[in-house]
Structures are given as C-alpha cells and as structure tokens.
Amino acid sequence: MLTAIKASSLLRRLIYLPLICLSQIGIAQADSHLSAICSSDSKTGSEAHYQLIAQYPHDPEAFTEGLVFHQGQLFESTGLLGASTIRKVDIESGQVINSLALPNRFFAEGLTALNNELIQLTWKMGRVFIYRPDTLQVVRTFDYPGEAWGLTSIDGSLVISNGSSELHFIDPESLRLIKTLKVNSKGQPIGGLNELEFVEGAIYAIVWPSPCIVKIDPADGEVLAWLNMSSLSPIVDPDWRTVLNGIAYDPVKRHFFVTGKHWPYLYAIKLSDING
C-alpha cells in the first residue's frame, strides 16, 4: 500500500505528464541533438571539468526548477501543479527552513535574486512572484507574457529562458524587452536552455533534458565551454522528470551547487574554467 506521501507524489507526477505533451520522437530528437554537445569528442566549445567538493542531502520530493544562493542562504523553487513552492534550505542537512506554497494553479519555474528580493517565474501562467528573502513574504507580482523556464539577473536586468535557444533580457521595472540573445555553438543553435546562473561575466545554463551545462558569452551568445554532469547523477536511467535542473553559485567559496528534479543529493563542485 502506498504511503500518503508517495501517493501524493505519484499523483503530482501523473498530473504533470499530460501538461508537457512531449512525444517520444521529440524526446529522442532532443537527446540525439544534445549528445553532440556533451560527448567527449564534441567540437562545440571547450570542455570544462569539475571537482566534487561535497555531497549534501536534498529533498527527493522536490521537483527542482530554480536554485539561487543569496546572502549566504540557499533558496529553491520547486514545480508541479499543486506542489510548487519557494523555500529556504539548510545546505548541510537538506532540511527546509522556511517554505511558501504557491496557489495550486501555478507551476513554479526559475528563481533569482535582484535588489535584495527573490524573483520566481511560473511556467505558462504568465505570473512572476517577488519575495522578501528573510520571510518569503510576497512583496508584489507582475505579469510576464509567454512561456518562462530559467531565470537569472545581469547588471539589473532579468534574463529569462523559455526552452528554446534564445535568452530574453527584460527591464524589471518597465518589463520592456531589452534584447534577445541567440545561443549557438559554432553556428549551431543550442535549444533546451533552462536553469540559468550568471557567474563572473558568463551565463551558465542547464540544457534540458540532458546532463549538460553550457557556459555562454552574454555578448554574442557563443558557447564558451560545456560540462557533462552525467557521472554525478544519482538517478539510474534518468528521464526528463529526473534530470539535472538546479544551479547556484557561492561567490565567497567560489563553487557551484547543483542538483536535479527529485534528486536525493545536492552537490558542491568547483569548475576548472573558473577556479583554475
């Protein structure tokens, strides 16, 4: 007999399946395309390497959509209808320190910090939530047209992905589109851009549904390096519901935190192209 928690988790995943509406052909094509990026003999940019620093517990029920490290605290956005939250997480124990559930009609996506506020996207619902980091109290909301996946901020602008090969730079006050950045590697567009993090002059993006992180030049969209995280995945035979999908950066220790949807672990890693 299923426990209440497992039954609830199963129900949420069943609800999620028809929302995605991905054909098996589409997934296969995406995997084939992405294998060229993450393969060891890829010519699509330089290869980055990582050093595993630490492994921490992570809530395996968390359908991770966004991760950000802000003022010494780790914050996480989790998705799925009826299960979307914003939460403050204790890194060492994996315990949720504070959490706020979104209304059931919202499917949460990317998360970033800007001007000492936390900003959280929703998938196709057109609503953006802004919170106080200390209490997770909603400060205000605004509407954003179109689909929204990953989120970061650069020089006061919001940068939003939508699962394509384009990143949209948005003025957070006027919501005006500042520019569209087309991401490519040797002239080939890199689609599936999801979770974003801006670190030391470059954009890091998780490429869905793959174990790949790409480092992007924000000036011209060229992929500068790629990182294959497949050896880090704790999930055997991962599918698109358990893929890598959380990336945050600690500027003091100069390492990344990475995790994935329903992953039981959060990892601290250092990248060779940043840390030498």
**Over 60: is that where the pLDDT of 30 sits?**
no
Q: Which residues are paired to 181 by β-bridges?
A: 167
Question: Which backbone phi and psi does 158 adopt, to 5 degrees?
Answer: -85, 140
Give the pairing type, strands 166-170 and 157-161. antiparallel
- Distance between terminal CA atoms of the chain? 51
Which pLDDT belongs to residue 234? 81
Q: Which tens digit of pLDDT belongs to each residue from 150-188? A: 999 999 999 999 999 999 999 988 889 999 999 999 999
Give which of 111, 108, 106, 69 is closest to 90, Cα–Cα: 69
CATH code at 4-275:
2.40.128.630
* b/e per residue 119-149 (b: at least 16 CB within 10 A): bbbbbebebbbbbebeebeeeeeeebeebbb
C-alpha to C-alpha distances, 90 to 57, 145, 264, nearest whole angstrom: 10, 33, 14
* pLDDT above 90 as % of the chain: 70
Q: Which tens digit of pLDDT belongs to each residue from 221-254? A: 999 998 898 888 887 666 678 899 999 999 999 9
How far is it, in rounded angstroms, from Cα 45 to Cα 125? 35
C-alpha to C-alpha distances, 70 to 57, 60, 119, 150, 187, nearest whole angstrom: 19, 22, 12, 17, 35
Residue predicted with more confidence, 238 or 112: 112
Q: Which tens digit of pLDDT belongs to each residue from 32-48? A: 445 455 544 344 456 66
Q: Is the dihedral of CA 20, 38, 216, 87 positive or negative?
A: positive
Average pLDDT across the chain, whole number? 84
Q: What confidence tier does 6 reach under pLDDT thresholds 50, 70, 90?
A: very low
Give which of 162, 164, 132, 167 is closest to 149, Cα–Cα: 162
Which pLDDT belongs to residue 236? 65
